[in-house]
């Protein structure tokens, strides 16, 4: 019942949004699933509480590449000019899924990314001098204790240097392209197999990211610990670089991104993960491919797996309307290359319905698992996401 309730709420908002007359668009940001939109945001500093609620009622969001929050205007405190602070934003996130299984086997380590209950506080100083995030994760998880699972993003950062961002604290480094994504913008209900085995883990360290017309990058030095289980068991480097050869063509030929990265470190033993990415967007279409190879890895299971593993996935997506997206993915993973006959293949078809962009979203995925050493499985997964 707890998982179905948000879905009912989402359908109610869907009916509301269909009757809306006034449209408010958000600014475009370039990421793998970006969609061009208009920026017609209103100045909300003088609005009453009732007017802000009315804006939520009429809100239309086409942007899906970054998270949007329904109650941002209401839950944001903007400071006066003489203050060093620009704003404080309190927010929350809820995501859940429900399964319709036709087989109990074949979908190991699924890591349903939308099973989240998060609370966060974002603060900004004026003139890009600095910002911070405190994000707590209160989702139950049996593999870690409550304290280890509670602290998620905990960092301070600055954008003071042009084209650069410096971070210090606990963040999600880019171990793979999709492995560095926020769960709030994932195209499917689960991450790809290489992402949920090698990446999607937060680490304590220092990093710098840069963004130029033809290249962007993210480089960092971290503790090899995960989820505050050990005090600095070793050092880890994570780096990722993207090249954008069509950046100066004004989108006439689409957007092309060629990326590659490296994770290497020590935690009881040495480990190295390398990866490569190709992504192309043209109008409403998106096609991408990501590959990764590991000689030992230090992923979300919380310790080094001393195995040689590899995998890849490819996604094709089409934005049917501003609210509706259809997509398919082929995903293959070999958990141990020294053993034959143990590959895991997943064929996924999905539909995303963006009621209010990523702030209110419904997802339906069909997953067919074809594993070499277990029975095949089929399942439908229904998910919902609410960002307040």
What is the mean predicted confidence (pLDDT) over 171-191?
Answer: 94
Is residue 351, in this structure, part of any structural domain at all? yes
As a whole-number percent, the residues of the chain with pLDDT over 90 amount to 63
Q: Which domain holds residue 246?
A: 69-387
Number of domains in the chain: 1
Minimum mean pLDDT among 1-15, 101-115, 120-134, 266-280: which range?
1-15
For residue 143, pLDDT over 80 is answered with: no
What is the mean predicted confidence (pLDDT) over 315-342?
Answer: 95
The pLDDT assigned to 13 comes to 44
> Please, which contacts does 75-80 make with residues 24 or more away whose CB atoms are closer than 8 Å?
75/388, 78/45
What kind and span of H or E run contains 309? strand 305-319
Minimum mean pLDDT among 7-16, 116-125, 157-166, 260-269: which range?
7-16
Distance CA 236, CA 233 (A): 10
Residues whose CB falls within 8 Å of the CB of residue 339, separated by 6 or more in sequence, listed in order: none
Residue 59: DSSP 8-state: -
What is the mean predicted confidence (pLDDT) over 147-165?
Answer: 93
The pLDDT assigned to 24 comes to 33
Is residue 382, in this structure, part of any structural domain at all? yes
CATH of the domain at 342: 2.40.160.10
**107, 240, 354, 132: CA torsion to nearest 10:** 110
pLDDT digits (tens, 9 = 90+) for 56-115: 878 888 888 889 999 998 999 999 989 999 999 999 999 888 887 766 554 444 445 557
228 compared with 32, residue with greater pLDDT: 228
Residue 384 burial by CB count (10 A; 0-12/13-18/19+): exposed, middle or buried? buried
Is residue 54, in this structure, part of any structural domain at all? no
pLDDT digits (tens, 9 = 90+) for 27-58: 333 333 333 333 434 444 577 877 878 888 78
What is the mean predicted confidence (pLDDT) over 289-308?
Answer: 89
Is residue 20, in this structure, part of any structural domain at all? no
Both tokens of 365, joined, read: 């995925």
Dihedral angle sign, alpha carbons of residues 294, 297, 299, 301: positive
As a whole-number percent, the residues of the chain with pLDDT over 70 amount to 83
Distance CA 90, CA 26 (A): 19
First and final C-alpha spacing in the chain: 21
**Phi, psi for 150 (deg, rounded to 5):** -70, -45
Using 50, 70 and 90 to split pLDDT, how confident is the model at 274?
Answer: very high
Q: How many residues does the chain have?
A: 388
- Are 175 and 263 a contacting pair, CB within 8 Å? yes
Is residue 43, in this structure, part of any structural domain at all? no
Both tokens of 189, joined, read: 């209900």
The pLDDT assigned to 18 comes to 44
The pLDDT assigned to 138 comes to 84
What is the mean predicted confidence (pLDDT) over 105-126?
Answer: 73
The pLDDT assigned to 30 comes to 37
Is residue 22, in this structure, part of any structural domain at all? no
Is residue 59, in this structure, part of any structural domain at all? no
The pLDDT assigned to 127 comes to 92
Is residue 21, in this structure, part of any structural domain at all? no
Minimum mean pLDDT among 1-15, 47-61, 255-269: which range?
1-15
Using 50, 70 and 90 to split pLDDT, how confident is the model at 268?
Answer: confident
Q: 177-194 burial string, b = 16+ CB within 10 Å, else e? A: bbbbbebbbbbbbbbbbb
The pLDDT assigned to 11 comes to 45
The mean pLDDT of the chain is 85
Cβ-based neighbour number of residue 267 at 10 Å: 20
The pLDDT assigned to 141 comes to 64
């Amino acid at each position: 019942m707890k998982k179905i309730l948000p879905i009912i709420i989402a359908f109610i908002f869907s009916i509301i949004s269909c009757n809306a007359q006034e449209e408010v668009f958000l600014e475009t940001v370039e990421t793998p699933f970006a969609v061009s939109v208009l920026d017609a945001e209103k100045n909300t500093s003088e609005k009453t509480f009732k007017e802000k609620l009315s804006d939520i009622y009429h809100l239309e969001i086409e942007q899906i590449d970054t998270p949007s929050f329904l109650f941002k205007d209401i839950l944001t405190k903007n400071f006066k000019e003489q203050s060093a602070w620009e704003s404080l934003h309190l927010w929350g996130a809820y995501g859940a899924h429900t399964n319709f299984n036709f087989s109990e086997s074949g979908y190991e380590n699924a890591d349903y990314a939308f099973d989240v209950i998060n609370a966060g506080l974002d603060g900004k100083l004026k003139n890009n001098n600095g910002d911070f995030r405190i994000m707590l994760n209160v989702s139950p998880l049996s593999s870690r204790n409550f304290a280890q699972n509670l602290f998620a993003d905990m960092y301070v950062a600055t954008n003071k240097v042009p084209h650069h961002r410096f971070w210090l604290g606990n963040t999600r480094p880019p171990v793979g392209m999709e492995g560095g994504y926020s769960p709030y913008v994932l195209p499917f209900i689960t991450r790809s197999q290489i992402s949920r085995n090698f990446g999607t883990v937060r680490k304590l360290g220092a990093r710098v990211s840069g963004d130029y017309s033809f290249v962007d990058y993210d480089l960092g030095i971290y503790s090899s610990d995960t989820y505050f289980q050990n005090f600095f068991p070793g050092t880890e480097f994570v780096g990722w670089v993207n090249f954008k050869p069509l950046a100066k063509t004004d989108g006439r030929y689409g957007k092309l991104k060629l990326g590659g990265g490296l994770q290497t470190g020590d935690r009881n033993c040495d480990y190295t993960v390398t990866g490569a990415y190709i992504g192309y967007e043209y109008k409403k279409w998106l096609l991408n491919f990501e590959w990764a190879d590991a000689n030992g890895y230090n992923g979300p299971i919380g310790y080094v797996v001393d195995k040689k593993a590899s995998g890849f996935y490819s996604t094709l997506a089409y934005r049917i309307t501003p609210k509706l997206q259809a997509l398919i993915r082929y995903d293959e993973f070999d958990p141990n290359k020294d053993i034959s006959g143990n590959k895991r293949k997943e064929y996924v078809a999905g539909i995303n319905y963006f009621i209010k962009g990523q702030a209110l979203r419904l997802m339906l995925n069909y997953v067919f698992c074809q594993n070499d050493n277990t029975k095949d499985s089929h399942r439908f997964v229904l998910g919902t996401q609410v960002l307040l």
